[in-house]
Amino acid sequence: MTRTRPAAVIVLAAGGGTRMKSQTPKVLHAIGGRSLVGHALRAARSVGPDHLVVVVGHGRDQVGPAVSASDPGVTLVVQEDQLGTGHAVQIALAELPALSGTVLVTYGDVPLLAGDTLAELVRQHESDDNAVTVLTARVDDPTGYGRVVRAADGGVSAIVEHKDATDDQLAIDEINSGIYAFDAAVLSDALRRVGSDNAQGELYLTDVVGIARGDGRRTGAFETTDRWQTEGVNDRVQLATLGAELNRRTLVRLMRAGVTVVDPASTWIDDTVTVEPDVTVLPGVQLHGATQIGAGATIGPDSTLTDVEVGAGASVVRTHGSGAVLGAGVNVGPFSYLRPGTVLGEGGKIGAFVEAKNATIGAGSKVPHLSYVGDAEIGEQTNIGAGTIFANYDGVKKHRTTIGSHCRTSSNNTFVAPVNVADGAATGAGTVVRRDVPPGALAVSSGPQRHIEDWVVTKRAGTPAAEAALKAQQASGDTDPVPSGDTAEENDR
């Protein structure tokens, strides 16, 4: 379908949102990885307008910067006093050059509105040569919505706010979404004639329909069968409801594109996430932000990834991660914590109860168990023993540890940064590495093992341990134990 390019899209985002009961402006609350106004901007930008305007008011110190960060090409307009939707559009038009063509008006709190729907609205508006075309939907309970009053010819004769509607009008189930396509010249002229004789004393944008109709211009409606696209957010109940519906739609889209989602009821994937075909998403998974999952990977169960890149064929089990890059074919988890800056090379492993931060781990290298790897670089095909700590912080500054390729470090090592372990080196169990280790060397830091004989028998007399020791001595024929305090090594001398 060829899309018509509107002259402007005006997004109204000045409302107070008092029912949210939040210090965060309503339009900055998020679902599916984007703020409400972020969803609105995405839909608006998709139709390629010459001008994109956002009208801000309440919370503009927060909303304005957020909008500009999301879309630097937006024109921001401030509505100092909220005098109605008609007034908001008036001040938006005043900031633009003279327009000809179609002007779309949408809202910053209608997150499921799709760009395709806006494009179809513009197409029908222009093909029918309408002065005004309103996006409508039919709902089971229209309470609170403006009613669409149809004329005998099927056009729209008026839109009546719920507070101003008669009993007959309240029975109408076709509702106004608040989203319009206007002829720019008709809109500009009609707004100068809109009055405030209504229950709220405001300038209603809806009155433009009646004015245009009275001038003999054609006013029509584009009825969507997807009423979710017209739903706005006014409180946190509606926020959660629309968030769940967006998530459902995201999962359906992914499943139809070749992704296996084992349990949609327990799976949350942001609209901003990329998942390639043949990925399997197990129960209890949350994927957020700019996360990318490569083909054939398995995620979950019970994993939360934010802004994480996962390579093809990887397995990520019971893992919490953010800002990490995981190569193809890696194995991560269970119970791994990936902090920003973690990079795991192809075929590598980060195992059970391992935390990694600002660390690059080379292809085929493994950190299998119970370790902290912070501010480190590990080469290829290296194995880090269980219980290893990369001691990166001296109390003032953080320092980096480098472990080479094909190294084998033993259990319960501590690497006191800054330190370098060269290629092919090894370490002994319990070693504290404070100095650089040459290539191929074995680093050890513990002294020879000492035995204080009969310590349990003399110091823990009468305990089950002491009784067990005595029985073991008798069974082995050791009736002349070494005197307490001596070592086996000393007696051999």
Catalogue the active-site residues. 369
Give the helix ranges, DSSP H, for 74-206. 85-94, 115-127, 167-170, 184-191
297 and 281 Cβ atoms separated by less than 8 Å: no
- The overall longest dimension of the chain from CA atoms, in Å, is 119
Nearest to 212 by CA among 344, 103, 359, 295: 103
Residue with tokens 């996006």: 135
- 393 CB-near residues (< 8 Å, 6+ apart): 374, 399
Q: Rounded distance, CA 446 to CA 459, Å?
A: 26
Radius of gyration in angstroms for the set of CA atoms belonging to the chain, rounded to a whole number: 34
List own/partner pairs for 152-158 with CB under 8 A and 24 or more apart.
154/220, 155/213, 155/218, 155/219, 155/220, 155/221, 156/132, 156/209, 156/213, 156/219, 156/220, 156/221, 157/209, 157/210, 157/213, 157/219, 158/206, 158/209, 158/210, 158/213
- 297 CB-near residues (< 8 Å, 6+ apart): 276, 279, 280, 310, 311, 312, 313, 314, 315, 316
60 and 78 Cβ atoms separated by less than 8 Å: yes
Q: Rounded distance, CA 191 to CA 176, Å?
A: 18
Q: Rounded distance, CA 384 to CA 351, Å?
A: 11
364 and 381 Cβ atoms separated by less than 8 Å: yes
Phi, psi of 354 (to 5 degrees): -115, 135
- 480 CB-near residues (< 8 Å, 6+ apart): none
For 389-408, give the DSSP string: EEE-B-SS-B--EEE-TT-E
CA distances from 245 to 39, 214, 434 (A): 14, 40, 55
The full length of the chain comes to 493
Give the helix ranges, DSSP H, for 77-180. 85-94, 115-127, 167-170
354 and 338 Cβ atoms separated by less than 8 Å: no
Bridge partners, residue 53, by sequence: 10, 75
